[in-house]
Each structure stands twice: as C-alpha cells, then as structure tokens.
Structure 1
Amino acid sequence: MQAVAPPVAPTSAPTDPQTGLVAPGVMAPTLDEIDVEFDTLPQKGEEKLQAPVGSSKKRDLVIQYAREKLGMWYVWGGESDAEGGYDCSGLLYYAFRKAGIDIPRVSMAQADRGRRVPLNKLRPGDLVAWENNPAQRGADHIALYIGNGMILEAPKTGLKIRIRKLGASEGAWGVALDY
C-alpha cells in the first residue's frame, strides 16, 4: 500500500488570472488558522464582542442560509453549490439573496452597502470586512457576523467555510446593515 502525501499549501497566493489581483480572503495565516477548529463559542471570562440584543427574521434567515454551507470549500468566484463552494463575498451574496435581500456580489461593494461601525456595535447579520491587499483599496475579505464575537466566513483557498471567533486585533471593521 502506497502512502499518500497530504496536500501542500501553495507557496504563493492565488491570483485572478484576468486582473492579477490576489484572491479575496487570502491572508497570511495566523496562529489561529493552523490546525485549529473554530466552531465553539468563547469560553466564560474571555473577551466577547457582544452584539446589541435584537434580531429580525430576515437576519436570522441570512445566518441560517450561510450556516447551511459550513464545511464546503472556499472556491475563487464561487457563489453556488454547483461550483463546488463559495468565496467570501459569494457566500454572503448567496445567503442574502436567498433571504430576499439584494446585495452586491463583491466584497468591496458589500462593505460599502452599510455604514462602518466599531466591532462591538455589530448585530447578528451585519458584516465584518478587512483590507489586506495593498494593490486594491477597499474591502477584499468579508464575513458574516453571527453574534457573541463569532463570524461565519469562507476564509481562503485551501480552507472550508467555518465559524470562528473574531480576534480584536485582526484589523477588521464592522459594517452595519439596515434590513
């Protein structure tokens, strides 16, 4: 029986062949991303980015539809199961559209749809955005805030859609949406 080597992570960030830009959500790995699962809530006593109380049926639906995709692969440009997975903005595009909410397709436009707020002012169903690509101004990675300091995201090539705790020092900002 021949041993199969584990997949090797690419040595350079994947880029869009047409624009040459780094794929959305591609960031240098943090210690939290290395061989650790992020599907539990923060432990008692840990700092939480608590969202204000209050939700709406539409917000709950968006979260529900995004949660249905947990464990699927990040796929550049993906916005449906037929493509084998979702990229960060494609996942949000899918979940919002399925809940009957019109939202732009790409992360930069999604982040511009709401107003920028501190992370501790987010409500479940709002967005969290990052700007990681110096060649392109604006949000190049985006995730769904689900409450209690947790986000649901399609992180980057080689990783699956997941829930994880949002770190206070990740350089992210909140995007409050009105819906």
Structure 2
Amino acid sequence: MGSHRRPAPSGLDRGARSATLCVLSAAAAAVGLVPAGAAPSAPSAPSAPQDDARAEVDRLYAEAERATEAHNKAGERAETLREKVTTAQDRLARQQDRINTMRDALGSLAGAQYRSGGLDPTLALMFSGDPDDYLDKAAVLDRIGARQAGALRDLRGAMRQLSQERQEATHDLAELEKSRAAVARHKRTVEQKLSKARRLLNALPDEERAAYDRASRSGRVPDLGGVVPPSARAAAAVAAARSAVGRPYVWGANGPTGFDCSGLMQWSYAQAGLGLPRTSQAQANAGRQVPLSQAQPGDLVAYRSDASHIGMYMGNGQVVHAPYPGAPVRYDPVGMMPISSVTRP
C-alpha cells in the first residue's frame, strides 16, 4: 500500500520539521545515515541531488495545498458576496420602483391641488354653478392635502432607506472585487508551485521518477477490520469517500470527477445530506473534536498545525484522502503526517 509519499509519519512539511520530509524509496531512506563502522565524529554523507529534488517537490506540494485552501476560502467568500450583492441589487431595483410610484402619486396630488387652488376660494364659490358640489370638492382637497403630507413622509423614509442600502451594496461589491482578486492571486501561486514541482520531477532520472510515481499510487483496499460507522450519516459519507478512491486530485475541485482534499470531504458528506464548509480549516471546526484514540469511521482528520490538509478516517488506522497532484484519491495510514485534530461532524 502506498503512503502519502513514504511510510514515515510525515511527507509534506519542511523547515522546522525537515526531519519528517518524504523519502520515497528504501534506498533514499538510507541516504545521509552514518555507516555502521564510522567513527562517532565522522560527518554524515551528503544527500544525493535527487533526494533534495524530491524533498523540494514535497515542500512545493505542501505550499501549493496551502495556497489551494486559501483559494477555496476566497472563492467561498466571493460566492457568498456575489449572492448577497445580487439580492441587494434586486431589492434596490424594487425599492426604486416603489419610490418612482410614490413620486408619480405625489405628482398627481400636487397637480390636483394646483388646478383647484388657482382661484381664491370665495371667487371659486361665486363662479361655481353648484355651490354644494364645490364644497364637496373642497372637502376632498383638504383630505388630499393630508394624504400628500403622509405620502411625502413615506417617500422621504423610502429614499433614506434606499440610500443606506446602496451604500451597503457598494461596500459589498468592493469586498467582492477584493475576494475575486484574492482568488486569482492564490490561483497564480498554486500554478507556480505546481509548475515548479513538475519541472523538478521531470528532471529526475527515469528510475527515480518511477519510484516517486509508485509511491504516489495506492492500488489495494486495506483491511479495515470490519469497523462499522457510528451512524447512518457517517456510513453514507464513508461509502461516498470509498467510491471516490482512484479519482484524480484536481486542485480547487469538489467532485464528482476530481477533488482536492477538502473538496473530497465536502462532496462525501454532501452525499450523506450534510453540508460542510469548503476549506480544511473550517471543516476541522465543523463538529465535535475527539481524541485520535476514539476516532470512528467518518471522522475528519486534519493535518499540520494550520489544518491545511484533511482526510476521512475509515477505521483500523486508515484514512481516505486526496493527497496532491498526480496522486489519486487513496487510502493511507492515519499517521502519515502530523495530526492537528480529529472532528466528528
């Protein structure tokens, strides 16, 4: 069975955790060790160039995954803002139509008052052929004046509300543009990291590249020990994740034909009728956290201190996850990388 990149506990981080970088073959695992008969003070043999290249590929994949999750987060916010702006624009249009109708009604009332108020009331009464009819109309005009005053108050209130909603919509629109710019920025970062990783892989000798490719495949289903998911919802999510094994890693994708790590978790639980957030960091907080010793099938296992990778616990020490570009959805040991949390949705 293939591991994330090696059978050791960690394979994607470098820097402070450089000792845990992936080693993709037994020969590579031995590089850098002191020979058995060497003196204690003898320096370690320098690592081979291909080992450094593979470690750099691992680091680039890890950085690309962090950028992918940042891309997903910005995309999720952009989608939320887009829906909010669209709703606000529809509401503003309806409010503007209402104000236009109110203005038209006020114009009609004002015209009626102007036409009736052009004569002094006494002269109007004298010229009226039907004084009783004039008095009836005058009473109606008084009521029109009261209605006009109320309508003016309503119009002013509607215009103030419209102005406030326009300001809010303008702010949301500016935030939407920022989120769209962030999506594009993170996309460029991911593409740059992946492009550099591919160049490094292509520069490896054929046998080294083949060894890396073998370590990036997992063809068999591990023994899960007959562990049963704790609920029907977890069972449905587990079944969905299992059905995705072998499908390609596609950064920024959430199924059904390709996935990134958090996209696989979101899609799997969507098949169980539960909506998860889009990013691995948000998913790590989308439920009750439990100790690894109490993990059950369907639990979400987040990796690294920043929770930039996530998989689903399947039982018997195994997870299903979308590892990185070039490696399809697969089973791996739960301890393949440093675990930051286990969450039960």
**Structure 1 residue 177 corresponds to structure 2 residue 338:** no
Aligned to 1:62: 237
Structure 1 176/38 Cα, relative in aligned 2: closer, same or farther at 3 Å? farther
Query: Aligned with 2:284: secondary structure?
Result: helix
| Equivalent position SS for 2:236 | helix
Secondary structure in 2 matching 1:152: strand
| Residues 280, 310 of structure 2: 8 Å contact kept | yes
Shift of 1:85: 0.7
The within-5 A match list for 1:23-172 is 34=215, 37=218, 39-41=220-222, 55-81=230-256, 84-131=257-304, 138-167=306-335, 170-172=337-339
Q: Is the 8 A contact 1:114 1:177 kept in 2?
A: yes
If each structure's strand is expressed as a fraction of its own residues, which one has the higher value? 1
Distance 1:163 1:175 in 2: 17
Contact 1:42 1:165 in 2 (8 A): no
Instruction: Write the distance in 1 (CA, Å) between the matches of 2:230 and 2:313.
Output: 12
**Alpha-carbon distance in structure 2 between the residues aligned to 1:139 and 1:145:** 15
How far apart, in 2, do the equivalents of 1:153 and 1:73 lie? Answer: 11
Aligned CA distance change for structure 1 residues 54 and 166 (closer, same or farther; 3 Å): closer
Distance 1:87 1:35, change over 3 A: closer
Q: What root-mean-square deviation, in Å, do the aligned CA atoms of Structure 1 and Structure 2 show?
A: 3.3
Task: Say if 1:54 and 1:155 are closer, same or farther in 2 by CA, change over 3 A.
Answer: closer
**Aligned equivalents of 2:264 and 2:217: distance in 1?**
22
SS in 1 for 2:238: helix
Describe the shift of the 1:57–1:89 C-alpha distance in structure 2 as closer, same or farther (beyond 3 A): same
SS of equivalent residue, structure 1 residue 74: coil
Q: TM-score, normalised by structure 2?
A: 0.38
User: Unmatched 5+ residue regions in structure 1?
Assistant: 1-8, 132-136
Change (3 A) 1:130 1:74: same
When normalised by structure 1's length, the TM-score is 0.69
1:112-162 CA deviation, whole Å, 9 max, x = no partner? Answer: 11233321111111011112xxxxx63100000011111010011110000
Q: Would you say the 8 A contact 1:77–1:87 is kept in 2?
A: yes
Return closer, same or farther for 1:170/1:38 CA change in 2, 3 Å cut-off.
farther
Contact 2:240 2:268 in 1 (8 A): yes
Corresponding letter in the other structure for 1:56: S
Task: For residues 43-79 of structure 1, give each alpha carbon's deviation from its aligned partner in whole angstroms, at most 9, with x where no partner exists.
Answer: 9xxxx9xx8x761111110011111111011000111
Q: Provide the C-alpha distance between the structure 2 equivalents of 1:35 and 1:88, rounded to a whole number of angstroms.
A: 15
Structure 2: runs of 5 or more not aligned: 1-53, 69-183, 198-211
Structure (1 or 2) with the greater helix fraction: 2
- Alignment partner of 1:112: what SS? coil
Give, in whole Å, the separation in 2 of the partners of 1:93 and 1:54. Answer: 18
- Matched-pair contact (CA < 8 Å) for 1:40–1:164: no
The structure that has the greater radius of gyration is 2
